[in-house]
Structure formats: C-alpha cells, structure tokens
C-alpha cells in the first residue's frame, strides 16, 4: 500500500503506508524460533562455505491448520515466510508496502487446498530482518532490484527451483513481481498484479519545477527530527486504522485483526529508519515500462474504489501485449485480496488453471 499515509496526513510529496524497522539478524518471535520442522534448501549461485551453511535450512511451525511459518536465511538475513498446501501448482504471493505475509491470511488457506501457496516478508517488512539503511547509501537496500532478487532466490531455495511458479501480488508488490519475471522469465509462468502501485511519486512523474522541493522534503524527513515525528503520528493503532479505512472500500473490513497485522511489525526498534529511507525512493522501475518488457502473461485485477491507484489511471494497461485480462472489482479498494477474498480467490484459481495444462 503506497502513498496512503502522506495523503492522509497532508504531506503529498512523500508516500508510504506503514514502516518496518532495521536490525539485521534480529531474533524472531518465539513462536517462529520454536519451530519443529526443518527443510533442506538449495543454495543459488556461488557462495562462501559459511554463507552456504547458513542458507541450508529453514525452520517451520504450524500456525493454524494447514498453514506453516518458517524462517529462511537469505544473504545472512532472516526472512519469514508462510506456506499452505502440499500439491498442485506453486503460487508465490507478494505483499505491498507496509504489508507482510499476514496480508494474505484470507487467501492462502483456501488456495492451499488445491495449490502450494507461499508468501514471504520482503526484506525490511513484517518479521524479516531489517538492516539499518543509515549504514548504506540511500535506497541501496530497500529497492525493487533487491526485492526481486529475494523472490528469485526464494523460488530456488525454498520452493526448490525445479518448476515454474505463478506470482500474484498487491500494490508495490506488483512492481516486485513484474521485475522478477523480467529478470528470470524461465522461472515464472505468469504474473498477477492486484491494484499495482503506479508510483506517482517517481521522479519521472513529478513536475520538473517541483522536483528540487520534493527532494529537499524527502531529505529533511530522512535526516532531521521531523521524520521521526511524522512516523510517530502513523505508527499507532488509530493512525493505522485511519489509513486502512481510507484505502478500503468497505470500512467494516478494517478489523482489529487487520490493524494488528499491519501495525505490530511497524513497532519494532528502528522501524522509522526503513520507513524514511523508502519514502525517499523516487527512482527505479515503473509498471508501464515493465509491462512493455514483461515476457510472461500478466493478469490485472483492480479494485474500483481504490482512492489512490485509481482504476482510470491503470485502465490503459489492458492494451499492453503481455496483459491477458483486466478485471475490475466493484466497490473494492486498494487491497482486494484482503478486503474481498471471496472475489479474488476464485480469480486467482482461474488464472492459474488457465496456464496449468
């Protein structure tokens, strides 16, 4: 979910919905570390013996009937993931900005009855590790190149790398999904983007005269006390609830459970620094350019009630050669997979079936 917070709080030059904090290699919640099942992983590419040994195993524990949660070592970082299902085509679900595995909690149980479904917390999100961006150049850790590499390695090391995978996604996760398919088309059968982020704060979409002022504001938020103060307004139960009510078509869908799923990871130590790094990210890929390059079929779902990624702005995407369908979802907001799983789950299944034999 992108651009949500700033429009709610009146800072239109910077956009993001929630924040995840740094602390590479931090300890995971006890419920994950006490897992009982180990799964062997394949190490992709060359690596030192030390790196290989740390990447060999993941740890899994059942968190509800039919759904397990594990920790995968990637580039020395802990990455949380969840999976459901033991047979059928493999689907990877990629969350949006401010989201995490739990934003697919209303999908993977049902889809897992006929598929093998995986979702992961991207680096810096959810309960994955959060390396401190202040130790590196701006936007060098939290960007779409890194996240797409993470998804590619996840397909190799956790899913097994022996088959092509379907990738469904929401919001900013759609940029990750498309970038993954462009970089590794031999590993991806098809991509589905659900209310993909249009990245309206990308430098290419900013008015020329406004760019210096936007850059100044982003730097000020990132390097002064104004940034933490801004973040403090958002990272509260009421702050998250207000933002979600603004982006969901039906306010009744914004439950206490949902608010907790989004808020809890954002309260980790150092969350503010990752948040402020990402809202300074005005470069990188744009979906309209990715769709020109995408070598696999693309399914597009769009909630018509999305107030930020407006359907009329994305409607032109259906003319791209790789786009096989553009499905409008009446009355649904920015996160249809969570708000209306009764609409989205069957569409995901139909999309997978269309390309499965």
Q: Please give the Cα distance from 333 to 321 (Å, whole number).
A: 26
Start-to-end Cα distance in the chain? 34
From first to last of its 357 residues, what are the pLDDT tens digits of the chain? 434 444 433 333 333 333 333 333 333 332 332 233 333 333 334 333 344 334 444 679 999 999 999 999 999 999 999 999 999 999 999 999 889 999 999 999 999 999 999 999 999 999 999 999 988 998 899 999 999 999 999 999 999 989 999 999 999 999 999 999 999 999 999 999 999 999 988 888 878 888 888 888 888 888 888 887 888 888 899 999 999 999 999 999 999 999 999 999 988 877 788 888 888 888 899 999 999 999 999 999 999 999 989 999 999 999 999 999 999 999 999 999 999 999 999 999 999 999 997
Q: Please give the Cα distance from 284 to 316 (Å, whole number).
A: 21
Backbone angles phi, psi at 38, to 5 degrees: -110, 140
Q: Which are the contacts of 146, defined by CB distance < 8 A and separation ≥ 6?
A: 123
Backbone angles phi, psi at 78, to 5 degrees: -90, 125
Return the structure tokens found at 257. Answer: 């459970």
Q: Which are the contacts of 347, defined by CB distance < 8 A and separation ≥ 6?
A: 299, 301, 327
Contact between 352 and 325 under an 8 Å Cβ cutoff? The reply is no
Secondary structure of residue 251 in the 3-state scheme: helix
Contact between 20 and 4 under an 8 Å Cβ cutoff? The reply is no
DSSP 300-316: EEEETT-SSS-HHHHGG
Contact between 277 and 138 under an 8 Å Cβ cutoff? The reply is yes
Predicted TM-score of the model (pTM): 0.84
Q: Please give the Cα distance from 187 to 210 (Å, whole number).
A: 40
H or E stretch at 299: strand 298-303
275-312 as b/e, with b when 16 or more CB fall inside 10 Å?
bbbbbbbbeebbbeebbeebebbbbbbbbbbbebbeee
Q: Which residue has the tokens 């789950």?
A: 345
Contact between 94 and 119 under an 8 Å Cβ cutoff? The reply is yes
Choose among 312, 334, 311, 315: nearest CA to 323.
315
């Amino acid at each position: 979910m992108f651009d949500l917070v700033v429009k709610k709080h009146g800072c239109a030059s910077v956009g993001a919905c929630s924040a995840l904090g740094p602390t590479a290699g931090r300890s995971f919640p006890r419920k994950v570390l006490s897992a009982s099942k180990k799964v062997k992983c394949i190490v992709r590419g060359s690596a030192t013996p030390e790196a290989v040994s740390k990447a060999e195993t993941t740890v899994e524990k059942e968190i509800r009937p039919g759904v397990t949660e594990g920790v995968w070592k990637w580039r020395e970082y802990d990455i949380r993931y969840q999976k459901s299902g033991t047979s059928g085509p493999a689907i990877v679900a990629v969350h949006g900005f401010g989201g995490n595995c739990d934003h697919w909690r209303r999908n993977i149980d049902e889809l897992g009855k006929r598929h093998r479904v995986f979702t992961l917390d991207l680096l810096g999100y959810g309960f994955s590790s959060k390396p401190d961006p202040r130790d590196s150049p701006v936007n060098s850790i939290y960007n779409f190149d890194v996240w797409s590499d993470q998804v590619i390695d996840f397909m190799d090391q956790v899913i097994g790398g022996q088959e092509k995978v379907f990738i469904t996604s929401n919001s900013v996760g759609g940029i990750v999904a498309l970038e993954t398919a462009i970089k590794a088309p031999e590993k991806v059968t098809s991509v589905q983007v659900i209310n993909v982020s249009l990245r309206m704060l990308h430098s290419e979409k900013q008015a020329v005269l406004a760019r210096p002022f936007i850059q100044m504001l982003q730097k000020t938020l990132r390097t002064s006390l104004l940034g933490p103060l801004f973040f403090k307004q958002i990272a509260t139960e009421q702050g998250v609830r207000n933002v979600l009510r603004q982006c969901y078509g039906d306010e009744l869908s914004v439950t206490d459970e949902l608010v907790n799923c989004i808020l809890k990871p954002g309260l980790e130590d150092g969350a503010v620094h990752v948040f402020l790094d990402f809202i300074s990210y005005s470069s990188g890929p744009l979906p309209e350019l990715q769709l020109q390059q995408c070598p696999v079929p693309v399914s597009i779902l769009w909630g018509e009630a999305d107030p930020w990624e407006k359907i009329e702005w994305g409607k032109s995407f259906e003319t791209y050669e790789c786009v096989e369908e553009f499905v409008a979802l009446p009355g649904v907001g920015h996160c249809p997979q969570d708000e209306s799983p009764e609409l989205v789950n069957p569409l995901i299944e139909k999309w997978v079936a269309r390309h499965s034999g």
